[in-house]
């Protein structure tokens, strides 16, 4: 009560203002709010595709589960459970990317003093992404080059093949 605060030497008005600011800050510190803020900055740096793909990944898998929670309250097990579900569906690359995207949001949250740690750091090796498959080189590059040089199609296509 106000009388008790005055007796403690504290201003009731100042305490109320601090409580209002804390409530506002809590709303700005939800996982979804921080993620959207961070990826808006990424978008403004000219990385629109990255920002779009990352937000879409979070909209599909992260925001429905823990978007409205304060950033500081999210534990590694929550993210790990989603990663395991994705892995069980056969999309381990998506699970790995999901952890990476969440980690970027948490690291931004640490940098802006909205949380203390990045909980994704402790689950980095929990999902093993399948090895990267590289495309094979053409078996006979000289034969391919001969075909390009002897191509008699349209002029535009010939110019494109020689570039």
93-114 pLDDT, tens digit per residue, is 999 999 999 999 999 999 988 8
Q: Which of 2-6, 52-56, 90-94 has the highest mean pLDDT?
A: 52-56
Q: Give CA separation, 74 vs 9, 21, 37, 77, in Å.
A: 36, 22, 18, 8
Q: For residue 75, what pLDDT is reported?
A: 95
Looking at the predicted structure, is the pLDDT value of residue 89 above 90?
A: yes
Closest among 154, 92, 75 to 126, alpha carbons compared: 92
User: Average pLDDT over the chain, rounded to whole?
Assistant: 86
What is the model's pLDDT at position 13?
80
Nearest to 63 by CA among 34, 85, 27: 34
**How does pLDDT run across 113-144, given as a tens digit for each residue?**
888 899 999 998 888 877 777 877 767 778 87
Work out the number of other CB atoms within 10 angstroms of the CB of residue 28.
Answer: 13
């Amino acid at each position: 009560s106000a009388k008790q605060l005055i007796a403690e030497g504290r201003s009731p008005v100042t305490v109320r203002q601090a409580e209002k600011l804390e409530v506002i800050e809590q709303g700005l510190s939800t996982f979804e709010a921080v993620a959207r803020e961070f990826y808006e900055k990424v978008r403004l740096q000219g990385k629109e595709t990255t920002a779009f793909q990352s937000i879409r990944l979070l909209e599909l898998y992260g925001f429905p589960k823990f978007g409205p929670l304060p950033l500081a309250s999210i534990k590694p097990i929550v993210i790990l459970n989603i990663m395991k579900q994705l892995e069980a569906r056969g999309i381990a690359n998506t699970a790995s990317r999901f952890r990476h995207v969440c980690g970027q949001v948490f690291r931004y949250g640490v940098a802006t003093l909205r949380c203390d740690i990045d909980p994704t750091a402790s689950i980095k090796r929990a999902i093993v992404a399948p090895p990267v498959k590289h495309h094979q080189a053409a078996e006979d590059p000289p034969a391919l080059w001969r075909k390009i040089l002897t191509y008699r199609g349209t002029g535009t296509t010939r110019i494109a093949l020689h570039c």
